[in-house]
Chain A
Amino acid sequence: MADSSVEIIEGCRLPVLRKNQENEDEWPLAEILSVKDIPGRKLYYVHYIDFNKRLDEWVTPDRLDMKKLQFPKKEAKTPTKNGLSGSRPSSPERDVRKSLDLNVQSASAPSRGKTLPTPKRKAESVSLATQVTAATPVPSLPSSTEATQASVYPAMRDSSFSIKSREEHEQLTSLTTNGTTRRLIPAQPGRKRKNCGGTDEMVKVFQNNNPRCSTIYLPPGEDSQDSSDGIPSAPRMTGSLVSDRSHDDIVTRMKNIDCIELGRHRLKPWYFSPYPQELTALPILYLCEFCLKYLKSLKCLQRHLTKCNLRHPPGNEIYRKGTISFFEIDGRKNKTYSQNLCLLAKCFLDHKTLYYDTDPFLFYVMTEYDSKGFHIVGYFSKEKESTEDYNVACILTLPPYQRRGYGKLLIEFSYELSKVEGKTGTPEKPLSDLGLLSYRSYWSQTILEILMNLKSENGERPQITINEISEITSVKKEDVISTLQYLNLINYYKGQYILTLSEDIVEGHERAMQKRHLRIDPKCLHFTPKDWSKRGKW
């Protein structure tokens, strides 16, 4: 189908064939992120719009529907400058969106109208930002060169923006080369951002002004700029998830490892991971199953295994029941393992950042024992001291073990730790799609378990406060409320709030609980929380 006469460049959008779970052909709209020449043919790295990045892949030209090819939006076309200089800051956005929508509509792919958040907020900052942008000399690229925009971009942005203050940058990030304001559009109503500044006002400002996270699924021209917002600003130092996507460039948007061999498993990484660059070209990256050291070849792995006598994660086992064990690893004391674990985890966690060292984290590695040793199943990391009640930073069940209840077990374990600590906790945000589903599922089951087991005392209707649920489960109050809302349990009845349990909820819960065999047994937990604040430094 590929028409060789038309050059497909980065940023182009077009329907790409993929098989869905029912093994049916689909032609979702996709964006070309990268093109590479291998002898004989070209390969295209595509991101399916509205699909998770983990499904991004290299495709051959025959899977591209060239007839519906959309080139990246031309910069010249966007009414940016005029619009921006106008007194009505919101209008440019609308204009841009309309034109984008039109573009999208023309494609056969599912309308991406819903992917663009409606511009609920036209913050004052937008106007400010736009004006600033207008004043900024924006390199306008001729359409022909736009294809290379993504790759060219970094240099450009560095030169044009390096002198700007950081705040300016944050405002400008969305407004760069194209001058579109669309990145200011995404209101982030629900987003909980981690604040760097610490005050609520700052958080707010940050949210208003920081449009970064919105870019990924935007139309081509905009996407290519995404890599552009070039202000090298370090992510926040707490936590291990990035909500600051300023470092998103095209490199990190693409998987760089083809395959990882870990023990018995071959894993297909979902996301970028900063393994040494020379290893990324390998067809298979070999990891030692126990120390997680990365090796370039099977021979090296063999040699390594003669020297590595680890048969379990190099930490203290704090839980064992049956074949399931948990090991606690201090990110400061066992840096090598922690880093190796993070590198592996990054392959499957999009928002995880490895920007900073692992010192402030503890790693809880869940293993399954067999005669060969304690095999890693999943893990979660946890800040030694969280200022925001996070009891989990990153959490991952390795793909071979997914959808078998281990994730919920990890979550359950994290809350058991919080119970021992006497705190409520919540996972660090943002959650991934799988993370959200897992947590919701865990919260739902946990809360429903409590609600359904409440017995009415002396004939009165059982009742419970949200705080009580929170205390019992160590689930943070907000998560309790959101779960109750999600399950639609909260109702207003005769002047008061009540919790109503519908039949399908009850049945669904009972069915789910029957399947839930893996549970954490608090009696098997040997854990003494440490007061890290008294240890000086993590």
Chain B
Amino acid sequence: MSKLSFRARALDAAKPLPIYRNKDLPDLTDCVSINRAVPQMPTGMEKEEESEHHLQRAISAQQVFREKKESMVIPVPEAESNITYYDRLYKGEFRIPKQLIHIQPLGLDNELPDYDMDSEDETLLNRLNRKMELKPVQFETMMDRLEKASTNQLVTLQEAKLLLNEDDYLLKSVYDYWVRKRKNCRGPSLIPQIKQEKRDGSTNNDAYVAFRRRTEKMQTRKNRKNDEVSYEKMLKLRREFSRTMSILEMIKKREKSKRELLHLTLEVFEKRYQIGDFSGEILNEVTVPLAEKTIYPAPISLPMSNRHKAESKIKSHKPVPKHLHPFTVKPEPHFDFVHSHKKYNKRPKLDTFRQPVRPERQQTINKADIKQYDFHSSGEEDYPLSPASEPDEENDPDGIFAFRRKAGCSYHAPLVDQSCTPHWQQTGQDRLWQRNCLTALSVPRRCIAVARGRVGRGGRVVLDRTSSDLDRALRHLDPDMFYPSADSIVPDLPVHTNTNSHNSKSSPQRSLTQLLSDIQACRWKFFRPRPLQENSRGEDKKGTPQVEKGGAAPLSSSVSGGFTEEQFHSHQQQLVQMHKQLQQQELQQNSTAPELHTHVPNAVSSDCMSKTLDSASAHFAASAVVNTPNNENRPQIASVNGVLPNSGSFRQAKLNRSGGGGESGSLVRMTNSSNPQLAVPQSLPHGHGHLSTVSAVSPAHTHHSARLCAPSPSALKLASVASSLDRVPKVTPTSAIDIARENHEPERLALNGLSETTVAMEVT
């Protein structure tokens, strides 16, 4: 054997190897087997097996003979291929399709049971089939369900009944059979299954456990360990992204349903308008079951998103939503006048009037009368988020009443420029009395000392109680003092009046239709009476001009001008008219007897009490009178009022019902706090206080200012007092507006950033 006299170079896979036939190499013997020079390649077998007898024999045979010899083949256990019943077992033929077979990912599951009947089952089936028809598949399905519903414990017969939904005899027989069979079964299940791994790792070594899940581990290339780290980071990223995705999806879904709700609400409202359901009975009838479930009363929403938390709030609200100023209503002298004065060109539609006096308990108000949507003020840059995207909105108790921007509306910041009015500089008691008044509840009938009422977000009446050293004494005041006449019942709410409810048939006045057309022609979308507070003047019910203040209602763009007295007047008429209609409707109703009545005390002019107005009507009256010294609408008011004593209770009841809460409102009586007994003294000595009180009379202010909501009666009172004092001449309507605004600006702001003194009233 020739030996390598030199060291062979390594075999280079990239180097061409010339190919020789042995016959071309006469000096073949000079060839050196280089097998030792080339690294021996592994066979890839387990070493021990490589040495197996048959393999070695086969390999050597191959090397010797270059061909397999029958005897040199590795022996294997035999296999037979002569199943005679094959054709009976596999029935039918399968024609080969011309195209390559392509399996559709779907459509494989046709819900056939995994359980396969055995001959034992067949016996049972045959037996059962004597009494009923039971198909094998049916039987298998039953067994399958029983099997799959059972874990370690068998399903009970009861569960089986639910599971199978078969008739009792069949169910029982199959169930019993199954239980028996299952107990005799050697395996864990009648459907043989591969053993599953257990999580505790106890099956790690169990040979019968197969197809374990792989822990997710990246197959990284060799020598790239950091791949794994980045891979995990990417996994994490991916997880987080997908979480984001799902959150966004949910937000989208939510917003869609919110939009849907809005549309539906609008639709409901329009429908109600069309069928004249102003008081909400129809709606109530339809929604009675729902109403019972309603836990919170549907509050009247305010045009502004007034959401304040106050101690005496009836419903606990979520703290101020983001887009609102977190003002508290405590009588703090300073407010954060953040926003520059902006005028509202348009107000969002406000289709409702609020209840000036809200009962302390759940006061329910007809939803439909309510404008459910609050709107952002566009001037509130602090809260740029649209409500739609607020993540916490789901928790917002306002729900549908949450403020929503309306397309095409521009929203402005509250008016703040005139806010610093002298009366804020007052201190001590003065201020206390100025902003609060002596308040009594009708139910329970007691005096709650100094407080002020306001309409909170959603129209809830909020009483902010203030402590003073007089409290103790005040508590013991006879609440009846506030009710000069026991009969005087103030019909609560003329609620629905304005917004969409221009009942054409009920508006006999030419001026109303004219107004309407005017408004439409001018594209005035909103009718916003502007309160004129200054010259409130008591008005006798009999028609003596009571009030010297009027809510001038500038239409859309104009703040102070634009709206003629005539228009306003006609609008007032319209309101009154609607109010009247309402009352008449209510009278006609057979309403459930309300327990509580809203009494508006009129401490001063007791003669007015017979026709005590609810705050709303008081507003109407007052504002109407203010602007119309002539008596044009007085008769109507009178008539309205005239109805009231009779209808008050009904209306109350009805309102309650319509609110869905069914709770009767308790009366809140407030007198101007500066003088517990009389509003007059306050109004007189403190012009501002007086004005502010009066301002409550204006619809606008009742909406906005906390104070106003409750005290409208006192405003009336004041008005009458004022009239009696003959202060009327001093104040022109316009100046009244200004003054009123001056006086109330801070308050408004305090009361949550009311941006305007006026209430938007949708006319169209």
Question: B192 touching A512 by the CB < 8 A rule?
Answer: no
Residues of chain B within 8 A of A315, CB atoms compared: 103
Given the complex of chains A and B, what is the CA–CA distance between A277 and B119 in angstroms?
21
A213, B93: Cβ atoms closer than 8 Å:
no
| Inter-chain contact A278/B112, CB cutoff 8 Å | no
B83 touches A265 (CB 8 A): yes
- Contact of A192 with B44 in the complex, beta carbons under 8 Å: yes
Question: Chain A interface residue count: which class?
Answer: 35 or more
Q: Does A402 contact B (CB under 8 A)?
A: yes
Q: Output the nearest chain B residue to A230 by Cβ-Cβ distance.
A: B205
Kindly report which residue of chain B lies nearest to residue A200, judged by CB atoms: B222
List A contacts of B46 (CB < 8 A). 191, 213, 243, 351, 430
Interface string of B42-70 (1 = CB under 8 A from A): 11111111111111001100100111001
Q: What string of 1s and 0s marks CB contacts (under 8 Å) between A386-405 and chain B?
A: 01000000000011101100
Whole-angstrom distance between the Cβ of B117 and the nearest chain A Cβ: 5
A301 interface residue per 8 A CB criterion: yes
Q: Which of A317, A454, A461 contacts B100 (CB 8 A)?
A: A317
Q: B8-27, CB under 8 A of A: which get 1 and which 0?
A: 11011111111111110100
CB contacts under 8 Å to B, within A276-319, are: 276-279, 281, 289, 294-307, 311-312, 314-318
Interface 0/1 of A471-502, CB less than 8 Å to B: 00000011101100100101111101111111
Contacting residue for B96 out of A188, A304, A356, A369, CB 8 A: A369
The distance in angstroms between the C-alpha atoms of A256 and B50, with both chains bound, is 24
Are A316 and B79 in contact, with the CB atoms below 8 A?
A: no
**Contact residues of A: prevailing secondary structure:** mixed
The CA of A217 and the CA of B75, in the complex, are separated in Å by 18
| Nearest CB in chain A: distance from B685 CB, A | 80
Tell whether, in the assembled complex, residue B116 and residue A274 are in contact, meaning their CB atoms are under 8 Å apart: no
List 17 additional contacts besides A265-B83, A488-B35, A497-B12; criterion CB under 8 Å: A20-B75, A114-B51, A188-B47, A216-B48, A266-B79, A270-B76, A301-B89, A312-B94, A314-B103, A333-B105, A356-B214, A357-B214, A398-B79, A485-B38, A490-B38, A498-B20, A537-B216
Tell whether A137 is near chain B: CB-to-CB under 8 Å: no
Q: Given the complex, which residues of A lie within 8 Å of B13, measured CB to CB?
A: 465-467, 470, 477, 481
Q: Which of A333, A342, A374, A432 contacts B45 (CB 8 A)?
A: A432
Return chain A residues, CB-CB under 8 Å to B66.
504-505, 507-509, 511-512
Q: List 23 A-B contacts (CB under 8 A).
A: A51-B54, A52-B52, A190-B40, A190-B42, A214-B48, A301-B89, A304-B116, A306-B136, A371-B93, A372-B90, A434-B76, A464-B16, A467-B13, A488-B33, A492-B4, A498-B18, A500-B20, A501-B19, A503-B21, A504-B66, A506-B21, A508-B65, A511-B67
B44 and A355 contacting across the interface, CB-CB below 8 Å: no
What separation, in Å, do the CA atoms of A272 and B83 have in the docked complex? 24
For chain A, residues 215 to 268, give those with C-beta under 8 angstroms from any C-beta of chain B. 216-217, 230, 232-234, 237-238, 243, 247, 249, 251-252, 261, 263-268
Q: Establish whether residues A55 and B77, one from each chain, have CB atoms under 8 Å apart when the complex forms.
A: yes
Q: Specify which of A314, A357, A503 is in contact with B23 (CB 8 Å cutoff).
A: A503
Contact call B79/A400, Cβ cutoff below 8 A: yes
Q: Is A22 among interface residues, defined by CB-CB distance under 8 A? A: yes
CB neighbours (8 Å) of B219 from chain A are 237-238, 385, 387
Q: Please give, as numbers and ranges, the residues of chain A lying within 8 Å of B19 by CB-CB distance.
A: 451, 454, 461-464, 498-501
Set A55, A276, A317, A402: member contacting B101, Cβ < 8 A = A317
CB distance from A508 to the nearest CB of B (A): 3
Query: A117, A266, A482, A493: which contacts B47 (Cβ < 8 A)?
Result: A117
Smallest CB gap from B82: residue in A:
A264
Q: Which residue of B lies closest to A253 (CB)?
A: B207
- A333 closest partner in B (C-beta): B105
The answer to whether B293 has its CB under 8 Å from any CB of chain A is: no
Bound state CA distance, A60 and B467, in angstroms? Answer: 106
A2 CA to B65 CA in the complex, in Å? 42
The answer, yes or no, to whether A354 is at the interface (CB within 8 Å) is: yes
User: B94 is contacted by which of A195, A311, A403 (Cβ under 8 Å)?
Assistant: A311
User: Which of chain B's residues have a CB closer than 8 A to the CB of A30?
Assistant: none
Closest to B216 in A: A537
A485→B38 CA distance, assembly (Å): 8
C-alpha gap A307/B221 in the complex (Å): 45
Query: Are the CB atoms of B225 and A198 closer together than 8 Å?
Result: yes
* Inter-chain contacts of B214 with A (CB < 8 A): 237, 356-357, 359-360
B230 in the interface, Cβ–Cβ < 8 Å?
A: no
Which of B31, B102, B140 interacts with A500 by CB under 8 Å? B31
What per-residue 1/0 map shows which CB atoms of A91-121 lie under 8 Å from chain B? 0000000000000000000100011010000
Contact A264 B86 (CB under 8 A): yes
* Smallest CB gap from B58: residue in A: A437
B51: A residues at CB distance < 8 A: 50, 114-115, 217
Q: Kindly list chain A residues whose C-beta atoms are within 8 Å of the C-beta of B167.
A: none
Which of B48, B78, B119, B211 meets A356, CB within 8 Å?
B211
Rounded to whole Å, the gap between the CB of B615 and the closest CB of chain A is 66
* Max chain A C-beta neighbours (<10 A), residue from B87, B95, B103, B221: B103
> Could you say which residues of chain B place their CB within 8 Å of the CB of A115?
48, 51
Tell me the bound Cα distance from A458 to B221 in angstroms: 45
**Bound: A425/B67 CA distance, A:** 26
* Complex Cα–Cα for A272 and B50 (A): 20
Q: Convert A332-362 into 0s and 1s, putting 1 for each residue whose CB lies closer than 8 angstroms to a CB of B.
A: 0101000100110000000100111111100
Stretch of B193-201, B351-359, B517-525 lying at the A interface: B193-201
Q: How many angstroms between the C-alpha atoms of A274 and B40 in the bound complex?
A: 37
Chain B: interface size category: 35 or more
Q: Which of chain A's residues have a CB closer than 8 A to the CB of B8?
A: 492, 497
Smallest beta-carbon distance B497→chain A, Å: 63
| Partner among A191, A268, A511 whose Cβ is within 8 Å of the Cβ of B79 | A268
Give the Cβ gap from A451 to chain B, nearest Cβ, in Å.
6
- Which residue among B55, B195, B215 has the maximum number of chain A CB atoms within 10 Å of its CB? B55
Instruction: Report how far A117 CA is from B89 CA in the complex, Å.
Output: 51
Q: Distance (Å) between the CB of B703 and the closest chain A CB? A: 58
Partner of A343, one of B77, B82, B194, B209: B194
Determine whether B130 belongs to the interface, using a CB cutoff of 8 Å to chain A.
no
In the complex, A186 has a CB within 8 A of chain B: yes
Q: A481-B41, A491-B31 are in contact. Are A373 and B187 (CB under 8 A)?
A: no
Q: Is the CB of B94 within 8 A of A272?
A: no
Q: How far is the CA of A215 from the CA of B90 in the complex (A)?
A: 45
Chain A positions 375 through 418: 1 when the CB is less than 8 Å from some CB of chain B, otherwise 0: 00000000001010000000000111011000000000000000
Residues of the B chain whose Cβ atoms lie less than 8 Å from the Cβ of A169: none
Chain B min CB distance to A455 (Å) = 10
Quick one: given A274-B207, A303-B140, A307-B137, are A500 and B21 in contact (CB under 8 Å)? yes
**B185 sits at the interface (CB 8 A):** yes
Residue of A nearest to B46 (CB): A430
Nearest A residue to B105 via CB reads A333
Residues of B within 8 A of A463 (CB): 16-19
Q: A299-B119, A451-B19 are in contact. Are A251 and B55 (CB under 8 A)?
A: no
